[in-house]
Every structure is written in structure tokens, then in C-alpha cells.
Amino acid sequence: MAAIYPPSPLTAIAKPRTARRPFPWIPVLLIGTALAYLALFLFVPLAAVFFEAFKKGAGFYWDAIREPDAWSAIRLTLIAAAIAVPLNLVFGIAAAWAIAKFDFRFKSLLITLIDLPFSVSPVISGLIYVLIFGLQGWVGPWLSEHDIKIIFAVPGIVLATIFVTFPFVARELIPLMQAQGREEEEAAAVLGASGWQTLWYVTLPNVKWGLLYGVILCNARAMGEFGAVSVVSGHIRGATNTLPLHVEILYNEYAFAAAFACASLLAFLALITLAIKSVVESRQLKEHRK
């Protein structure tokens, strides 16, 4: 039975095995329990998304996705991610370069602060921008005098998205670049490479899988963020609705099939993210073993 953790010579001595091994009750029971747990909380809900989306047929599904408000929500979701992900990517590289390649005081405090957005409730992540840019906020009155809208407009959505996806790339790159040490970069510098050349030709190729890993997770969260974006969006259909907010509106209007059709796009994105993540992880493992 391949299912059992291979017995060592020692156990074989301690407990001589009979010719016919008994049915492996314990492994089967444990695997069964784990699968039941995952089914209840993961598989069944995931299947339900696609089932509900196609309940009224493929034609209805198609129409729900191509409807103008859905399109504008898809567009805004892509725009927010297209701004937030590159900004956090540049930040992640800069932070990892400073933290991994140099020694300075309060480094662990800095790492903790970078992780901070993960421990803040999404609702609060939206709220803090309302407190600054909202009408009653610090710069709100000045903004409204100059006719600049941030809250209940696209810039607010982008800002909230940047906040919630802030740590993703940095927290992937920092441990990876710390583990790789500084010798290769120092060799490049001694041989006359400029800082940018060292970064581009030495450091980044070394961490490319970790970088990709951080970027896809960052992107998944950017496209899927709900709570923070919900606070700053104002839910203006066709203008400030992202795809997750559009799903919520349709759902609250009892347009369940349409809501699940849009939700299935996001679920599909999540599955692609997991597939890329799985491939990247096995690549990383292979390179690590070399």
C-alpha cells in the first residue's frame, strides 16, 4: 500500500509484519476526514459558483457578462489592478533591495510595518482614505474647491487597492533575497557593473519565480478586493463599480444568475492564479534542489 508512510528497517524489526497487511484504516480515515473538511468549505462552494452561473443557460450567462454595466465594472477592475500591481512591484523591489542587501537598525520594525496592511480590516483600509480625502476629511474641502474627486471616484478605488495589496511583492522578495546573500551582487559591482545593471542582470533573474509569485497573488487580491473598495466607491453603476461590487449589487437585486455569472469570472481568475502559483512553486523547488 503506497498510502502508508514507508516503514523504516527499525519498525520492521520491532513489529514483524504478517504476509497479508491489514487494510490501512487509519490513513483512509484521516484522508477521508481531511477531504470531507475541504469539500464542505472549498469544493462544494466553488462548484456552486459555476453551477449557479450556468443555471439559466449559456446564452443568459453570455448576456450577463456582456451587459454594459458589467463591462464597465470589468474595465475598472482591470484599471485598478494595472495601476496598483506595478506600483507595489516597484516598491517591493526597492524594499527588498534595501532590507536584504544592507544592514541598518530597526530593520525588523520596518518589515513589520510593511506587513501592517494585512492586519487591518478591509473596511478600515477604506475608511482611512475617506478620513483624508472625504468631504469632512483633512484635504477634502481643498479638493472640492478645486473640483477634484477622490472618494466615490476612481482614484479612491485605486488608492484602497494599493493599500490592501501593499505587502504582497515585498514579503515574497525580502526573505528570498535575504536567503540568496550578497556575494553575486558584490561580484558584479566589483567587476564594474552599475547598480541598475546589477539589479537587472543579477538580482532579478535570481528571484524571478518569487517575483512572479508575489505579482500573481497581488493581482488576484487587487482584482478581488471588496471591503475596502466598497467603502470608497459610492457604488455608482457604470462609473465606480468594480467587478466584486457589481456582483454584490446584482445579488442584492435578486439577479442571482447574473451575479454568479460575474462571480464565475472572478472564480476562474482565482483558479488560474492557483494554477500559476502551483507551477511556480514546483519550479522554485526544482531550482532550489539544483
Partner 1 sequence: MSTTFRRPHSVLPGFNLALGYTLFYLGLIVLIPLSAAFIKTFSLTWESFWATVTAPRVLASYWLTFRTSLLAAAINAVFGLLTAWVLVRYKFPGKRFIDAIVDLPFALPTAVAGIALTAVYAGNGWLGKPLAEMGIKVAFTPLGILVALTFIGLPFVVRTVQPVLEDLEKELEEAAKSLGASSWQTFSRVIFPTVLPAVITGFTLAFARALGEYGSVIFIAGNMPMVSEITPLIIITKLEQYDYSGATAVAVVMLVASFVLLFAINTLQWWARKRRNEEKV
Minimum CB–partner distance for residue 16 and partner 1 (Å): 13
Minimum CB–partner distance for residue 155 and partner 1 (Å): 13
Question: One-letter amino acid identity for 85?
Answer: V
Count of CB atoms situated within 10 Å of the CB of 134: 20
Q: Which is nearer to partner 1, 72 or 259 (CB)?
A: 259
Largest separation between any pair of C-alpha atoms in the chain: 87
Q: Which is nearer to partner 1, 103 or 147 (CB)?
A: 103
Minimum CB–partner distance for residue 45 and partner 1 (Å): 4
Q: Which is nearer to partner 1, 14 or 19 (CB)?
A: 14
Can you tell me the distance from the alpha carbon of 260 to that of 247, in angstroms, rounded to the nearest whole number? 7
Minimum CB–partner distance for residue 13 and partner 1 (Å): 8
Q: Which is nearer to partner 1, 19 or 190 (CB)?
A: 190
Question: CB pairs under 8 A, 24+ apart, for 81-87?
Answer: 81/161, 81/219, 81/222, 81/223, 83/158, 83/161, 83/162, 84/158, 84/161, 84/162, 84/165, 84/218, 84/222, 85/165, 85/215, 85/218, 85/219, 85/222, 87/162
